[in-house]
Structure 1
Amino acid sequence: MIDKPVPHRNPFSDIAPALGKYTDDVLFGDVWKRPGLSPRDRSLVTVSSLISNYRVNEMPFHMKRALDNGVTRDELIETITHLAFYAGWPVASTAIGVARKVFEQADAEKKE
């Protein structure tokens, strides 16, 4: 059993070290830590943007991060439902499938 959480490994660093560094230092270091919005609010904005722009690859990571930042499952589902009318039914339908998998994975991790 591991006592300490394993630090997040940037998925870009092995092939694009500069992009990995910018992601870690600028995006998640500077941008996400600005005082104007809480991490919870930044997560809602980010998830909404990813859903609206059909950024399926990034949705799971940021939905999980949103849960970690205090966004509830009900709030994520309500966000997706709301976006169905502004971003379109297909993107909302896809996002529901992603959310389902994220929730299932979170439940499985709790059982471990």
Structure 2
Amino acid sequence: MTHTPTTARNAFGDIAPALADYTDHVLFGDVWERPGLSPRDRSLITVASLIALYRTNELPFHLRKALDNGISRDELIEVITHLAFYSGWPTASSAVSIARRVFEEANA
């Protein structure tokens, strides 16, 4: 296994090195690099899924990744607003709070 610093390796590689390796090589290597969808589309799908499933722990990372993949702040807020009607007000409200923090940190 490689020991190059990555987000996964820095976050949990010390306690779960195999999980960090799978995250780096399988998830973000193989899955995210498949040609069927663009990185922008994958980010949009991932952010929407995390919001709908109330996965607030992973949401900040993927909101930043979505911005990096060309999704605008306005588009992300529109996703959150749209999902309020499908995944519920609490998921949207939590996502807005997280998005605000991410946008402030990213100056987006």
Fold conserved between structures, TM > 0.5? yes
Superposed CA RMSD in Å reads: 1.2
Give the TM-score normalised by the residue count of structure 1.
0.88
Aligned residues: 102
- Structure 1 position 9 matched with structure 2 position 7: yes
Equivalent residue, structure 2, for 1:26: 26
- Does structure 1 conserve the Cα–Cα contact (< 8 Å) formed by 2:6 and 2:24? no
SS at match of 1:33: coil
- AA partner of residue 42 (structure 1): R
Aligned-pair identity (%): 70
Unaligned runs of 5+ in 1: 1-6
Q: Distance in 1 between matches of 2:7 and 2:42?
A: 21
TM-superposed deviation, 1:36? 0.5
Tell me the SS of whatever aligns to 1:86: coil
Match of 1:74 in 2: 74
Runs of 4+ in 1 over 4 A off after TM superposition: none
Give the Cα separation in 2 of the matches to 1:54 and 1:95: 8
Amino acid at match of 1:96: V
Compute the TM-score of the two structures, normalised by the length of structure 2: 0.91
